[in-house]
Amino acid sequence: MRLASTTLGPADAPRLLIAHGLFGSGRNWGVLQKRLSDAFRVTAVDMRNHSGSDWSEDHAYTDLADDLAETLDGPAHVLGHSMGGKAAMALALRHPDKVQKLIVADIAPVAYTHSQMHLIDAMRALDLSGLDSRKDADARLAETVDTPGVRAFLLQSLDMAEGRWRLNLDALAARMDAITGWADLPGAFPREALFLSGADSDYVTRDMRPAIREVFPKARFAAIPGAGHWLHAEKPREVEAAVRTFLQ
């Protein structure tokens, strides 16, 4: 599985791999990637079935973890957000030799009851014919998606020139239960892990900490004030500071 990626930073600097969340892409982390590249060699990937990477009918976290393992030619720090956070956790459990320190952004190794099918339905329903601008696309998407920030996020994956989504919506829809779920993987990660949450998000709660520590016994916890689930977009400087403090 070929994953598209970009890499910034000195060749001899410590490695940092970033895995984005559902419907996202490596470019969502471009600001933090650039800022952190002064001290790290930072690679931001597009996950399978997203943006510039290969598509597949399979989208289990074991598959995503193995994709990430194949991109690494040696150990690296790994940061993953949401779906990418679960993939990063699976990587740490399946290929612990590949992961030095782990940062999991606003997700836990548990099954969630929410679904993102309503957003897939909205993207599928969007009439892509005759669009002159992303503003036009936003106006049409507003008929089914109320929140401007969510529309802006989704429209980053719309290829205006080709008139298509750079997302494998069929595979993501078929595997939604696996994406929101969690496959219990054997073992425990022996090194340090930071679970970094948005203080205004309910994705990682205190009652999840026993489940987290069961597989990540050296887990630390921190929250970014004033941030929700998309903490890296809402509070990039605070997230950058937390990442630097933990890794350095």
Is 118 part of the annotated catalytic residue set? Answer: no
Is 82 part of the annotated catalytic residue set? Answer: yes
- Quick one: which of 126, 117, 115, 179 has its CA closest to 151? 126
Catalytic residue among 38, 121, 159, 170: 170
Rounded (10°) angle between helices 148-155 and 134-141 = 130
Q: What are the φ/ψ torsions at residue 164 (nearest 5 degrees)?
A: -150, 160
Catalytic residue among 25, 51, 82, 201: 82
Catalytic residue among 50, 77, 81, 229: 229
What DSSP character marks residue 162?
Answer: T
What's the 3-state SS for 66-110? HHHHHHCCCCEEEEEECHHHHHHHHHHHHCHHHEEEEEEECCCCC
Please identify which residue in the block is written with the tokens 């740490």: 92
Is 197 part of the annotated catalytic residue set? Answer: no
Task: Give the three-class secondary structure for 128.
Answer: coil
| Edge-to-edge strands, sheet with 41-45 | 5-8, 41-45, 15-19, 76-81, 99-105, 193-198, 219-224
**Contact (Cβ atoms closer than 8 angstroms) between residue 91 and residue 98:** yes
Tokens read off for 215:
């597989």
The residues carrying an active-site annotation are: 82, 170, 229
